[in-house]
Structure 1
Amino acid sequence: MSERLQPGDTAPAFTLPDADGKQVSLSDHTGRKVIVYFYPAALTPGCTKQACDFTDNLELLAGAGYDVIGVSPDKPEKLAAFRDQESLKVTLVGDPSKEVMDAYGAFGEKQLYGKTVTGVIRSTVIVDENGKVEHALYNVKATGHVAKLIKDLHI
């Protein structure tokens, strides 16, 4: 099981392909806060709800100084289909090797329908303007998570 990040940790650097195959790096966002959220799979009900919630609140979050990056193990082609089908405006990147998810503590053992399985742990890490972890939230719910985040961040 990978180590979970703690507030004050340096956020692991990453460069991953987005839905169009363009490389997106955490360092591209230096000077802004970044909400990096990890989800199991594009085009599934819970992940769709969460991505739509982030898209619906993107202007509000951007106005408060936050960029949003969604990370899943999907390939760019699937991310593009997800984005287009759901009209998503949030940046989606793919981590098929799961190395970045592992570095963020978002991949490992979890409970699924009462069984212990290894997979993506739905997580959200908020990175400050200087690349430090401000909040690290694990095992978050797909539904209602964005509203709770906005409340907890006092946006």
Structure 2
Amino acid sequence: MVDVVDGLKAKLAEINSKMEELRREIVVLDDQRVAFETVIKVYQPGFELAASPSKTRRASSRETASGRVTELLKGRNNRHIVLDILRRSERPTTTAEIAEKFASEADLGSEAARLESALTSRFSATLNGLVRQGLVRQAGTTDGRRHLWEVSR
């Protein structure tokens, strides 16, 4: 029975990891799409992307959160933000906790809940880059699925 549960937990962690990866990819693709639309509008000011109403509604809410996060982080160094939060943390921290701490320090108030997913995705990508640079490391998981992060010492 324990082997079955362990297998299920491992599969759940794999699924969650894949979902985080896809969220990061969506953020990157969304930013690229916006950049292409901006350049096209320079050459053709009347350009409007033709999309079905359901796709437009879903994309616009994601754009809004992603765009707001981009605006919040503009001129700031994501690496420094994440490293600073991790250094001040007394224990290993999840990506969502890093996003919550940033939202609290940026005094986002009621907007924080709406931006949580976009902030978490953005900081998750930053953490992966910091891992590759050897500046942070995974310090286990919480709930068997969410990574805990800490500064490499």
More helix by share: 2
TM range (shorter): under 0.3
- The two structures have a TM-score, normalised by structure 2, of 0.25
- The two structures have a TM-score, normalised by structure 1, of 0.25
Q: Which has the larger radius of gyration?
A: 2
